[in-house]
């Protein structure tokens, strides 16, 4: 009998968790396991705001995949997925094809710009190590250039962050700490720097407790961040952004750096491969398979799961992606052993903490609201837990976040 071949696309939180759980649960004689990823490293998506601001080096937010997979059990292929041919059970990569018996689609997210003109061309994003590193260097270059020009242009020093959601707020928290460092490095007067958060929705951090949100806004404002809430970005240009003001009016905000942190969508490979999806997210079955597909599981940013309590989708978080990976690994083990009774996935939200920089945060964990140093400590514990769940204690020791006393 031929061994079934399990192919996992993507080594983000969901895909990598699937791989490391599978390698424990499935014997080498039971199945071939293949992990496909664009890079030879995994990165902590939830830490990218730090690498983007320059407060944490990008090598701290990534680790090599071969350090956490068992290469006797999991074959790793470095390649970019271009399309999934469902009928042929084949995955087209930029550098070859891979056939599968079972597939796990964990291809992650892309920025969603909602058709707003110029965002794709002129705004930076916080989506992977490459984009984070480029954003960090772009900001540095703007600061470095400021003093070289005979006519000083203060707009060079202006940073617009589009979006007051999780990523936007966490990035602003890091920027608030980073700007004084940049000012020292490039001999720039701190008062000439502007950091503006522009958000179309009428609120900051929708879904968060209002008391915590007020704390977050007050803390960031104290550090000089300006908020323009209920203000849609109409266009992004090489000079900055154009925002809507009231009914018909618009206003230009000049800025050397525009960051789009207001939306992500699932991988565009999803639609390209013929899945029925909403912005790259597939409404999965309770066992995390794609509707009508017996052998294709979806995890992470490409999976859409409805929170029945409020009849709205769960936000795609690292926490949920990893829990999905665990369930998918068990369901795959069951399938290759010809058990048809698959486990149903239910997210177990242990807590949500939004960082406001190095030593401040807001959040809810174990049912308790918390702010400041306590919340910040909890955030670091959550970050370390992600490492622990995939790579164990040794990965925490290597890449973990510890308060330096």
Q: Point out the catalytic residue in the list 50, 110, 170, 326.
A: 170
By beta-carbon proximity to a copy of itself, the closer residue of 258 and 342 is: 258
Q: CB atoms < 10 A from the CB of 61, how many?
A: 23
By beta-carbon proximity to a copy of itself, the closer residue of 256 and 325 is: 256
User: Binding residues for a copy of itself, per CB under 8 A?
Assistant: 129-131, 133-134, 136-138, 140-141, 144-145, 147-148, 186-187
Q: CB atoms < 10 A from the CB of 279, how many?
A: 16
From the CB of 145, what's the least distance to a copy of itself, in Å? 5
Buried-exposed string 192-225: b where 16+ CB fall within 10 A, e elsewhere: ebbbbbbbbeeebbeebeeebbebbbebbeebeb
Closest CA to 399 of 382, 378, 381, 384: 384
3-state secondary structure of 140: helix
Distance CA 45, CA 40 (A): 15
From the CB of 43, what's the least distance to a copy of itself, in Å? 12
By beta-carbon proximity to a copy of itself, the closer residue of 76 and 297 is: 76
Distance CA 10, CA 106 (A): 5
Distance CA 308, CA 343 (A): 18
Distance CA 160, CA 244 (A): 15
By beta-carbon proximity to a copy of itself, the closer residue of 143 and 208 is: 143
Sort strands 282-283 and 303-304 into parallel, antiparallel or unpaired.
Answer: parallel
- For the question of residue 170 being annotated catalytic, the response is yes
- Token reading at 346: 């239910």
From the CB of 146, what's the least distance to a copy of itself, in Å? 9
Residue 225 phi, psi dihedral angles, 5° rounding: -75, 135
From the CB of 148, what's the least distance to a copy of itself, in Å? 5
Closest CA to 61 of 111, 133, 10: 133
Work out whether the CA dihedral 81, 44, 50, 372 comes out positive or negative: positive
By beta-carbon proximity to a copy of itself, the closer residue of 104 and 127 is: 127
From the CB of 54, what's the least distance to a copy of itself, in Å? 11
Give catalytic residue positions.
170
């Amino acid at each position: 009998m031929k061994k079934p071949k399990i192919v996992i696309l993507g080594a983000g939180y969901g895909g990598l968790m699937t791989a490391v759980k599978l390698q424990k649960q499935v014997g080498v004689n039971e199945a071939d396991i293949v992990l496909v990823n664009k890079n030879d490293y995994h990165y902590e998506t939830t830490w990218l705001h730090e690498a983007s601001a320059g407060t944490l080096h990008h090598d701290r937010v990534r680790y090599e995949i071969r350090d956490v997979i068992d290469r006797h059990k999991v074959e790793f292929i470095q390649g970019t997925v271009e399309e999934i041919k469902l009928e042929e059970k084949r995955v087209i990569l930029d550098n070859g094809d891979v056939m599968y018996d079972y597939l796990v689609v964990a291809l992650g997210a892309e920025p969603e710009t909602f058709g707003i003109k110029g965002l794709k061309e002129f705004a930076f994003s916080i989506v992977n190590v490459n984009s984070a590193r480029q954003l960090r260097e772009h900001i540095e270059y703007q600061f470095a250039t400021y003093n070289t020009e005979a006519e000083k242009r203060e707009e060079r020093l202006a940073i617009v962050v589009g979006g007051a959601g999780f990523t936007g707020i966490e990035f602003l928290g890091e920027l608030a700490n980073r700007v004084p460092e940049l000012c020292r490095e490039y001999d720039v007067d701190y008062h000439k720097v502007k950091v503006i958060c522009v958000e179309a929705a009428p609120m900051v951090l929708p879904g968060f407790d209002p008391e915590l949100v007020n704390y977050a806004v007050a803390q960031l404002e104290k550090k000089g961040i300006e908020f323009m809430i209920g203000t849609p970005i109409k266009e992004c240009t090489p000079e900055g952004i154009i925002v809507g003001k009231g009914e018909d009016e618009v206003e230009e905000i000049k800025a050397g750096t525009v960051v789009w942190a207001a939306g992500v969508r699932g991988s565009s490979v999803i639609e390209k491969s013929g899945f029925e999806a909403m912005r790259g997210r597939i409404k999965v079955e309770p066992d995390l398979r794609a509707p009508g597909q017996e052998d294709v599981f979806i995890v992470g940013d490409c999976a859409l799961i409805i929170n029945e309590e409020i009849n709205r989708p769960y936000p795609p978080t690292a926490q949920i992606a990893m829990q999905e990976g665990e369930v998918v690994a068990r369901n795959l083990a069951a399938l290759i052993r010809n058990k048809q009774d698959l486990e149903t996935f239910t997210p177990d939200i242990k807590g949500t903490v939004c960082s406001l920089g190095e030593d401040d945060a807001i959040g809810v964990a174990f049912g308790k609201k918390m702010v400041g140093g306590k919340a910040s400590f909890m955030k670091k514990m959550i970050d370390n837990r992600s490492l622990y769940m995939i790579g164990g204690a040794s990965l925490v020791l290597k890449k973990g976040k510890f308060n330096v006393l």
